[in-house]
Amino acid sequence: MQRAHARCALFFAALFAALLLATAPALAQLPESCLPPGQDHGKARVDFVYDGDTVRLVDGRRIRLIGLDTPEFHHRDERREAEPYAVEAHEALKALLAEHGQQVLLVHDRQRHDRYQRTLAHLYTPDGRSITALMLQQGLGTRLTIPPNDWNVDCYRDAEREAGIAQRGIWSLSQNSLFDATELPRDATGFRRVEGRVTRIGESPRAIWINLEGDVALRIDREDLQFFPDLDVTSLMDARVRGRGYVYNHRGQLRIRLRHAADLEILAVNGS
């Protein structure tokens, strides 16, 4: 029964990917903020697709796509089911690559490798379309900005926003709704978007804390403040702000670490 269920899931995921390709002309027009590859760092051929954001090239390099985080398969824990849209993201990336004969263009950012020694790169189709942006535009992942690799961040933000407005893919799930900080479930985990009024600004030797109503704190490590060049923390008291990231619980308080200015939006200052 379990194998039959898995085969059924794969069938519908493949069907979903086929439908995405069928509607590709409608999604092919990426936001105007999307930059072309410009001077790329070489052409390559994909040999294997691990999931929606990680592939292996024929030369053996394992590529982690910059700017994209797709739902997890939980490969290392067979007891856990794949997250919603993990299979669809995997199949859609496979279909997109197959459409272009597995050929990609690589564009590196400031860092060449992550802590797992995977090669970091922005991937493009041979005709110059951002693969990260195409996946985000289809609602098959969230924008992930990890400094200092923030090239093309505006493109990824706008592609994700388009999917969110249309409620495509993961944006059709209630867990990805925009939560008021006072209504965020106390057992919340994973990626979340919250909005609320700032009640206190805290500081420690390592971080700045933007505390919201509802006992939710947005944390900015001091080492990341350089990626918030226009942020005046002292002006945020009573402001209404919106933050996004991965939530964790620390001694009963929900916290979200913000790594980049693209993850913080100031909606109203001092009640204005």
Which residues are catalytic, by number?
64, 72, 118
Closest CA to 71 of 91, 57, 56: 91
Angle at 208 between CA 205 and CA 213, to 5 degrees: 135
Q: Which two tokens stand for residue 58?
A: 């024929």
User: Could you write out the DSSP letters of every residue in 178-238?
Assistant: EEEGGGS-TT--EEEEEEEEEEEEEE-SSEEEEEETTTEEEEEEGGGGGG-TT--GGGGTT
User: CA-to-CA distance for 192 and 257, rounded, in angstroms?
Assistant: 11
Asked if 176 and 141 count as a contact pair (C-beta separation under 8 A), the reply is no
**Element spanning 14, H or E:** helix 2-22
Angle at 250 between CA 177 and CA 69, to 5 degrees: 45
Instruction: Give 169's contacts (C-beta < 8 A, 6+ positions apart).
Output: 85, 88, 89, 138, 139, 140, 163
Q: Which residue in the block uniquely carries the two structure tokens 């970091």?
A: 120
Q: Which residue in the block uniquely carries the two structure tokens 């080492």?
A: 223
Q: Which two tokens stand for residue 91?
A: 């199949």
